[in-house]
């Protein structure tokens, strides 16, 4: 998102440009674009919005391509002061991994077949379901979820090369601070990014859980890998000023709902700490 707005500021990317979402672009998992009928035309700004507020995987890969791909994105992150923040692979590669572990021949599968492997059984479009039914059945027999997913979960916990990305809480907090203060890109682009982050549709039971509006509102972005990963990072706006919180986890063994609830309790504890400091010293808490 930040790189897209950076390129937009430099007039190298037009966020009003519309592109067609084709069948080969569809990615399973979180998001909504795969639920629409074929031929949907969206702006690049739409892609950014859905990538953030619904963690849309289709939008992520389409936008990754438009900002230059993995190498270009990671090179820019390093030059911008985020050397430990990297996108490891596209979501297409991420979803191909379980099949590759079964047989390297699946490395050459077209995107449509990878989507078919992961496709939801309640897919809305009957035509889409029918077009993928054969590939889905064949691949599910070759690599059944019950066999593959436990192995993938262990790899996601222990080996970063199998993850979608690699980040640190500190660098993410610095990036969020830059968005909030308008120091990474232009003020107008920063304002748009903050508006998008405040429209987050995922993770209601995480950072914002115990921070009720209108006293507080949260601009945030979740990251998920159920049942072992539940992340949330954002800026809390309230009486104590702007408070940046970056919460990352892996190898979670608790019930997922309890883990999400824990994030909410910790966020509340952080906010209460700075609110108390603000009351004790009015100069404290303006930009934490």
92 CB-contact burial (10 Å; exposed 0-12 / middle 13-18 / buried 19+): buried
Domain ends where: 86, 114, 148? 86
Is 6 a domain residue?
yes
Is 190 a domain residue?
no
| pLDDT over 70, % of the chain | 96
Is 152 a domain residue?
yes
Domain that holds residue 58: 1-86
Is 176 a domain residue?
no
| pLDDT over 90, % of the chain | 68
Domain ends where: 56, 86, 116? 86
Q: 227-277 pLDDT, tens per residue?
A: 888 899 999 999 999 999 999 988 888 899 999 999 999 999 999 999 999
The pLDDT score that the predictor gives to residue 123 is 63
Whether the predicted pLDDT of 201 surpasses 90:
yes
Is 99 a domain residue?
yes
C-beta of residue 219 within 8 angstroms of C-beta of residue 190: no
The pLDDT score that the predictor gives to residue 104 is 92
Q: 202-235 pLDDT, tens per residue?
A: 999 999 999 988 999 999 999 987 788 889 999 9
Whether the predicted pLDDT of 156 surpasses 90:
no
Is 98 a domain residue?
yes
Mean pLDDT (the chain, rounded)? 91
Is 275 a domain residue?
yes
Q: 93-127 pLDDT, tens per residue?
A: 999 998 998 899 999 999 999 998 987 655 667 77
User: Locate tokens 């080969």: which residue?
Assistant: 24
Q: How many domains does the chain divide into?
A: 3
241 CB-contact burial (10 Å; exposed 0-12 / middle 13-18 / buried 19+): middle
């Amino acid at each position: 998102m930040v790189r897209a707005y950076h390129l937009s500021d430099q007039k190298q990317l037009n966020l009003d440009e519309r592109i067609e979402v084709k069948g080969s672009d569809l990615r399973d998992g979180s998001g909504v674009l795969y639920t629409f009928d074929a031929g949907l035309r969206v702006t690049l700004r739409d892609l950014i919005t859905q990538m953030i507020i619904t963690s849309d995987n289709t939008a992520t890969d389409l936008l990754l391509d438009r900002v230059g791909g993995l190498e270009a994105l990671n090179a820019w992150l390093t030059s911008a002061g985020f050397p430990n923040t990297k996108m490891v692979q596209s979501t297409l590669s991420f979803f191909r991994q379980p099949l590759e572990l079964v047989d390297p021949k699946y490395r050459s599968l077209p995107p449509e077949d990878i989507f078919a492997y992961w496709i939801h059984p309640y897919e809305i479009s009957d035509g889409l379901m029918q077009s993928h039914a054969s590939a889905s059945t064949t691949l599910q027999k070759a690599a059944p979820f019950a066999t593959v997913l436990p192995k993938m979960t262990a790899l996601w916990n222990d080996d970063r090369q199998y993850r979608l990305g690699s980040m640190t809480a500190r660098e993410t907090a610095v990036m969020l601070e830059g968005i909030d203060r308008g120091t990474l890109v232009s003020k107008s682009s920063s304002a748009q990014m903050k508006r998008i982050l405040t429209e987050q549709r995922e993770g209601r039971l995480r950072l914002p859980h115990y921070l009720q509006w209108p006293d507080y509102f949260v601009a945030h972005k979740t990251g998920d890998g159920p049942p072992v990963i539940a992340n949330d990072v954002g800026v809390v706006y309230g009486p104590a000023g702007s408070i940046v919180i970056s919460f990352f986890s892996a190898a979670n063994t608790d019930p997922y709902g309890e883990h999400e609830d824990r994030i909410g309790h910790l966020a509340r504890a952080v906010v209460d700490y700075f609110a108390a400091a603000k009351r004790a010293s009015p100069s404290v808490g303006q930009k934490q």
